[in-house]
Amino acid sequence: MGTILVIDDEKKIRDLVKMYLLKEGFQVDEAENGNIAFEKIKRHEYSLIILDLMLPGIDGFTLFKEIRKIGDVPVIMLTARGEEFDRVLGFEMGADDYVVKPFSPRELIGRVKALLRRSSNNDKDKSSLLQFDDLSIDKTTRKVLVEGQEVFLTPKEYELLLYLTSSPGQVFSREQIMQAVWNYDFFGDFRTVDTHIKNLREKLGSNSGKKYVHTVWGVGYKFEVRK
């Protein structure tokens, strides 16, 4: 089932999460600060990381940026920082999930399983090249090219693009996008969807003026190639 890295400076939190993960058959590694965690991440390959944001040494947000430079391992941010700004920031940075302390261990395990299922399904789907005019998506390498130039997307931006391109021309509501890409009902503020759409549009911008992601006012968004 793979190894999960739990990063938290509170031993009781690490022990609690570890106990529940072990019950579900996962292997667990742990780190009490950002520096130790970073060294472990450089040396080992993890299936998923549970990351506290308020860490001694390298703080959680900085560590997350380093994690994303290394790869696209699923990351759940687990933190007492429950303000809307922090949650939106976490999602905008590319976090796969955000859980606020105090938390339900069973709910956390449920989200871990959901993320790993999605990651596994993505691996199974990596078998073809999608081509939409000057935009190509290689599922095998997760490379996205526009007019032959590679576009570097965050894991969430990539998932969002795959979801929209799954049914070109179909309009998806922000609720549908949040459920499909983030895999659970959001806390009521869908601005993170709008932000990801905005970033995706900017990155997919082409010299020919072609546009791929469009707003359907009052409804949601759709993928369609047009000038």
What tens digit of pLDDT does each residue of 84-138 get? Answer: 667 777 777 778 888 888 889 998 998 898 888 877 665 555 447 888 889 999 8
pLDDT for 1 beyond 70 = no
Asked if residue 194 lies in contact with residue 182, where contact means CB atoms within 8 angstroms, the answer is: no
- Distance, first Cα to last Cα, the chain: 46
Average pLDDT value for the chain: 86
pLDDT band at 184 (very low <50, low <70, confident <90, very high): low
Domains belonging to the chain, first-starting first, are 3-123 (3.40.50.2300), 126-226 (1.10.10.10)
Angle between helices 84-93 and 191-204 (to 10 degrees): 30
Give phi and psi for 145, each to the nearest 5: -120, 135
